[in-house]
Amino acid sequence: MAVGELCLGLPIYMEKQMSDIVILNGRVITFDGPDAEAIAIKDGKVTAVGSTAEIREMAGSAQVIDAQGGTVMPGFIDSHVHLFGGAAELDFLNLTGVIGVEALTAVARPYSAARPDDKLLFACSIDYALIGDRSITRHDLDAAIPDRPFAASTADHHTVYANTKALELAGLLHGADCGTGSEVVMGKDGLATGELLEAAAFMPVLEMTHLGGREMLGMTTGADPIPAPDAKTRAIDKGVIANGYKHCAMHGITSLHNMDGNFYQLELLAEMEAEGTLLCRTEIPMHLKHTDPVERVDEAAEMRAKYSGDMVWSNRVKMFMDGVIDSKTAYMLENYPNTDSRSEPLFSAEHFNEAAIRADAMGLQIAVHAIGDAAVRQTLDGYEAAQKANGVRDSRHRIEHIETIHPSDIPRFKPLGVVASMQPLHSPRGGFFPAYESGDIIHPHQIETAFAWKTLRDAGAALIFSTDWPVVPVDVMPTIQGAVAGVELPSVWLDQRLPLREVLAAYTRDNAWVEFNEHRKGRLRVGMMADVVVMDADLDAMPIDQLGSAMPAVTICGGRITFEA
């Protein structure tokens, strides 16, 4: 697939009718009526949709892209990412698929040799099951890297494992009081085991990376706001983000909903827009932590007032209700199997309700990380409290992840207008992570409604899809394959597969809707933003278990080519 040579058109067309770009010979999914074959783009907008013959006549001196029968559709909108963290991790040692100390040693020592000046060697995506059926300890990491501080985060970014030298350097070897929801796990010998649960426990370690912990900026319960970095640090951070944008554009992404945010990030992106290095439209939220007073929500209104452009904007408050299932920090309705704990919420019900009511009254959208079934219920309760206090409006409040949900809470989504924001590759059905053993981390009856996106959709909930990069790769197509094809699992895992067109819509049209931009993007029709991806294959014709191999050939954001294979 390639961008063609300039094509001369018929002289009867006036210059003002000429196009900047035309895409011909495609399988165009418009999400606005019938499919088409070609589109024309001028001044950042779609100016025509029709047959190849019709659009070819409009080409004039436009740049011609021959789709060669590949799918042409609105650019992908990834509605849940951590941009800075994902971009930073492109430079880290990735431990996906590494199992056992011997395998860890084999990849960690060359990494150590290649980075002699790093104060802390840091890796990402260490598997909770690295050692098998017991927890990873500092001694396991010592065996791999005994002579330098070494730490690694899990893919979900809610746990970090550190070796002895890293714990000593961070002042955590003898433990620390981390407050609600975080823990430096201690051993019988009175020393830290190396397992650090949630951000308050592991931030002292991450602050020793070459990015000073900014790679986790707001990803969980991170520091926010941060002091204004110096010019050198700002330049480093913009370089990291620019690399991340190139990576996203390579995967057909034209818009991002960031899930962490502050004024600093907005300032950087605004500067990048002016410099021409902002390749994807990006929404940045205000991150309200459970340690914040509700009055801090007013900051979100300031962010919205200052940043409201087409490329960079803010209109959302993000909160965390709980942790994750794998580390047993997700807030559950029942105790975890074989334990006396069901974890606890980061926000008290009263605190969250007050924050939700305040944000909703200001016309802000709310997005809440809620993984455990009790966390989902408490979030729904807060949204219901906001409706009762402020009246019903088109709020499009979101719940992020929903990895477990009680059956009685499923029907609540539709009447409350709550959006289910889910990530197919988080589910074992997607084939990226292994399935939970029944009765191991969650109970069999909880598995039946785990990662239940089809069940929620069938109950009338608005459903959107995303990756949660860098928890899983930002590559869109494996996520789409996970939702459409999935993998075979034991029968207790109910079938949640959806048709391809529905999943593609959830990643484009519906993600535009959830950001209140359905009239400007997410469809290919005249007057819409020219955010387009040209795929290297006809997705409708592909075997569904091979969808993950399809790649973008060209990505266009606002009429500008941001990636070309």
What residue ranges define each of the domains in the chain, with the CATH number in brackets? Answer: 2-75+551-564 (2.30.40.10), 85-216 (3.10.310.70), 321-521 (3.20.20.140)
Q: Is the pLDDT of residue 321 over 90?
A: yes
The predicted model gives 517-522 an average pLDDT of 98
Judging by DSSP bridges, how do beta strands 192-197 and 71-74 pair with one another? Answer: unpaired
Residue 215 has pLDDT above 80, yes or no: no
| Distance of alpha carbon 37 from alpha carbon 49, whole angstroms | 8
Confidence class for position 479, pLDDT limits 50, 70, 90? very high
Cα dihedral across residues 518, 522, 523, 525: positive or negative: positive
Residue 8 scores a pLDDT above 50: no
> Model-level pTM?
0.90
Question: What are the respective helix, strand and coil percentages of the chain, to the nearest 5?
Answer: 35, 20, 45
What average pLDDT does the structure give for the chain? 93
What is the tens place of the pLDDT at every residue in 114-127?
Answer: 999 999 999 999 99
What is the rounded average pLDDT of the residues 454-482?
97
- Percentage, residues of the chain above pLDDT 90: 87
Burial of 230 (0-12, 13-18, 19+ CB in 10 A): exposed
Cis geometry, peptide bond prior to residue 543 (ω within 30 degrees of 0): no
How many CB atoms are closer than 10 A to CB 14? 8
Structure tokens at 500: 């391809």
pLDDT at 388: 98
> Pick from 273, 217, 224, 228: which is nearest to 86 by CA?
217
Q: Is the pLDDT of residue 219 over 80?
A: no
CB atoms within 10 A of CB 116: 7
Q: What confidence category does residue 92 fall into, taking pLDDT thresholds of 50, 70 and 90?
A: very high
Residue with tokens 């920090």: 329
Burial (CB < 10 A; 0-12, 13-18, 19+), residue 232, is exposed
Whether 111 shows a pLDDT value over 60: the answer reads yes
pLDDT band at 4 (very low <50, low <70, confident <90, very high): very low
Position 130 scores a pLDDT of 95
3-state secondary structure 181-232: CCEEEECCCCCEEEEEECHHHHHHHHCCCCCCCHHHCCCCCCCCCCCCCCHH
Is pLDDT at 218 greater than 60 in this prediction? no
Question: What is residue 227's predicted lDDT score, i.e. its pLDDT?
Answer: 59
**CA atoms of 146 and 140, how far apart (whole Å):** 10
* pLDDT tens digits along 347-361: 999 999 999 999 999
Q: Are strands 398-401 and 316-320 parallel, antiparallel or unpaired?
A: unpaired
Instruction: Report residue 7's pLDDT band, with 50, 70 and 90 as the boundaries.
Output: very low
Instruction: Quote the tokens at residue 297.
Output: 């929500």
The answer to whether the CB of 95 falls within 8 A of the CB of 123 is yes
What is the distance between the alpha carbons of residues 469 and 258, in angstroms, rounded to a whole number?
10
Please report the pLDDT score of residue 10 as a whole number.
29
| pLDDT score of 24 more than 60 | yes
pLDDT at 6: 32
- In this model, does residue 405 exceed pLDDT 50? yes
pLDDT value for 229:
77
Please choose, from the candidates 79, 23, 26, 486, the residue with its C-alpha nearest in 3D space to the C-alpha of residue 258.
79
Measure CA of the first residue to CA of the last residue in the chain; give whole Å. 8
Q: Are 422 and 463 in contact (CB under 8 A)?
A: yes
Whether residue 12 has pLDDT greater than 50: no
Per-residue confidence (pLDDT) for residue 181, from 0 to 100: 81
Q: Which helix (H) or strand (E) holds 129?
A: none
Q: What is the C-alpha separation between 136 and 82, in angstroms, rounded?
A: 26
d(CA 212, CA 206): 7
If you average pLDDT over residues 91-96, what whole number do you get?
Answer: 94
Mean pLDDT, residues 172-190: 93
Please, is 350 exposed, middle or buried when counting C-beta atoms within 10 Å of its C-beta (0-12, 13-18, 19+)? exposed
150-154 and 365-370 beta bridge pairing: unpaired
Q: Which two tokens stand for residue 28?
A: 């165009």
pLDDT confidence of 156, banded at 50, 70, 90? confident
**pLDDT of 375 above 80:** yes
